Structure 1
Amino acid sequence: MDSHLDDAHRNSLALSPFQEVYFRKMEDAFFEKNLELNQAKVQIQEHSDELLAWVHEVKAPLTAINLMFEHIEDLQLRRKLENEWLRLHLLVDQQLHQTRLYAIEKDNYLTEIELKPIIYKEIRAMQAWCLEKGIGFEIGELTEIVMTDGKWLAFIIRQILSNAIKYSPVNSEITIFTEHDSTGATLLHIKDIGRGIPLDDLPRIFQKSYTGTAGRESSQSTGMGLYLASNVAHKIGIRINVQSKVGEGSLFTLRFPLQNEYAKLTGR
């Protein structure tokens, strides 16, 4: 749309000379700001594309390094290297999904998903870390099928699982099970018996870069995992609830949308 009104429309307004000048200045200001905004959008998109390209370049050597672990005979050294590799992999994965988050509406596909394979895959991916800490899992039947995006759901579970493993004591268990709430919605619970979250930290754990009391004691904490998980969950209709008590651990619950809630989410 042209930023300047046509002469016929301008004349119909019967502007005074002062109003005419003022009106023209306003139009010029809006035109310049629109140009600046469009340029900023182009720069952000270019930066996003460059960042995605960089992440994909990094993933290639990470995959190659992971394959090399099979040739390391020293089991203790191998596990240490696998654990450090996993930390790096999770950081790169967070960056990848953070970059994609702004275009999630174009990058999600809601369909019927079986929970069990996704959860088991994420647990296997954390195996090196779990072996190092002696973390085990008590897992329910997980027979539920939910309506969601499998790729983004896996990312959410990955962030919650990594948090549970990070703050769990050695030789402890993480419990994963499902149930239904009073509305019939599926609930996925992930429970640890770690240090728990202080009451003052609880309302802020999903804020960007917020590491909290526990995070300040750990060099591994970036404060981005739960922030990204919360944002993704909101976009695909999942609600995350947290119950926690210091010294007794934390319970993260994912509530999946019902059919009518799913219809509102997708506009169908």
Structure 2
Amino acid sequence: MDYLKDRTLFLLINFVLFIIVSGCMSLMNMNSSIILLIFLIWFIPITAYITIEFFKQKILYNELNSIIDNLDKKYLLPEVMKKPENIEGKLLYELLQQAYKDMHEHVKNYRDRENEYREYIETWVHEIKTPIASTRLIIENNHNEITRNIKDEIKKVEEYIDQVLYYSRSNNVSKDYVIKEVSLADLVRSVIKRNSRDFISKGISIDIEAVEGTVYSDTKWLEFILNQLIGNAMKYSRERNGRVTIKTIRNENNIVLTIEDNGIGIVDKDIHRVFEKGFTGENGRRYGRSTGIGLYLCKKLTEQLGLGLSLMSKVGEGTKVSVVFPLGSVNLMN
């Protein structure tokens, strides 16, 4: 119907012309059979032409719809579609090609700018580590209560700097990814040692006796993820009798590393949003300790590494975060 509506003017002009011609023939007392014959000679070719064009265009658009449905990136249509034979299709094809080329240049421009910005951030991170190292050296040579407090703040600054660095690399994990055998017990002990002063100063006990197992992944990225998760466990721990329990559970096809605390917990309405970028939730507004980046970054990095990440929590009882390590053929043979 839409196709016929598009050709209404063409058909209307032909009908008007035929009526005029047939009227003139009637005035000339010509036989009605001749008028009918002229009608058939006039409109059968028109009808055949319209019908053939309809099916040709229907086949073309069905093919394009099929291509679009099977494409993950819809903007690649001009790259994979065939050049149509009719003049309208050719014009549309050329316009799409020009639009695709222009879009490709714009995307390349923004990608280059993003890469430049990321390279600048990485350079800045490495440069700022020099004055931080110098500050640490000054602190080591001047031990007192003030320098110890400064050292604690320096540690927080270093953690935020690491967060910036890993955030800038989070879309390109494959370029900085080294797979090797990782002992979960050694990995957890390394992160605990890194945060030992915070555990002691806050009076938080730690239980890592049930951590065992070996996985294959990137040690550096895993250490950053665990440091973020353990840091959250400490951040929202109870002021008295705080406790963090880290353990592993080996299943048939995976190893699950869980980090559980007995802290303040998370309200039900916030649990499904904790991995959203910038989401701080009720705890973040109440205590002012959250940036909404840590868990988002952990979720993004675990997905890049092919791991699973989930969270369960109850208000007043604590929070449990689980990292799922799928076991490959090497692990299963071992």
| Distance change >3 Å, CA 23–CA 185, structure 1 → 2 | closer
| 1:132 equivalent in structure 2 | 201
- Look up the SS of the partner of 2:312 in the other structure: strand
Per-residue deviation, 1:108: 1.3
Which moved further from structure 2: 226-235 or 170-179? Answer: 170-179
| 1:206 equivalent in structure 2 | 275
| 1:241 equivalent in structure 2 | 310
| 2:109 equivalent in structure 1 | 39
Matched, 1:180 2:263: no
For residue 192 of structure 1, the aligned residue among 261, 280, 291 is 261
| 1:266 equivalent in structure 2 | none
Per-residue deviation, 1:116: 1.9
| 2:300 equivalent in structure 1 | 231
Q: Considering only aligned residues, what root-mean-square deviation do their CA atoms show, in Å?
A: 2.4
Matched, 1:215 2:309: no
Per-residue deviation, 1:19: 4.8
Amino acid at match of 2:288: S
Name the larger-Rg structure.
2
Which moved further from structure 2: 147-156 or 125-134? Answer: 125-134
Per-residue deviation, 1:83: 2.0
Matched, 1:166 2:166: no
Higher RCO (Cα < 8 Å, 6 or more apart): 1
Structure (1 or 2) with the greater helix fraction: 2
Name structure 2 gaps, 5 residues minimum.
Answer: 1-77
| Distance change >3 Å, CA 39–CA 66, structure 1 → 2 | same
Alpha-carbon displacement from aligned partner over 1:107-157 (angstroms, at most 9, x marks no partner): 212221111222122112223322331222122153311122111111110
Q: Does the aligned pair in 2 maintain the 1:176–1:188 contact within 8 Å? A: yes
For residue 154 of structure 2, the aligned residue among 85, 96, 99 is 85
Partners of 1:261 and 1:226 in 2: how far apart?
30
Alpha-carbon displacement from aligned partner over 1:203-234 (angstroms, at most 9, x marks no partner): 11111111111111233311111111111111
Partners of 1:219 and 1:81 in 2: how far apart?
21
Per-residue deviation, 1:57: 1.0
- Look up the SS of the partner of 1:251 in the other structure: strand
Q: Does the aligned pair in 2 maintain the 1:111–1:148 contact within 8 Å? A: yes
Partners of 1:261 and 1:225 in 2: how far apart?
31
Name structure 1 gaps, 5 residues minimum.
Answer: 264-268
| 2:322 equivalent in structure 1 | 253
Matched, 1:149 2:215: no
Q: Calculate percent identity across the aligned residue pairs.
A: 29
Q: Does the aligned pair in 2 maintain the 1:237–1:262 contact within 8 Å? A: no
Alignment length (residue pairs): 252
| 2:27 equivalent in structure 1 | none
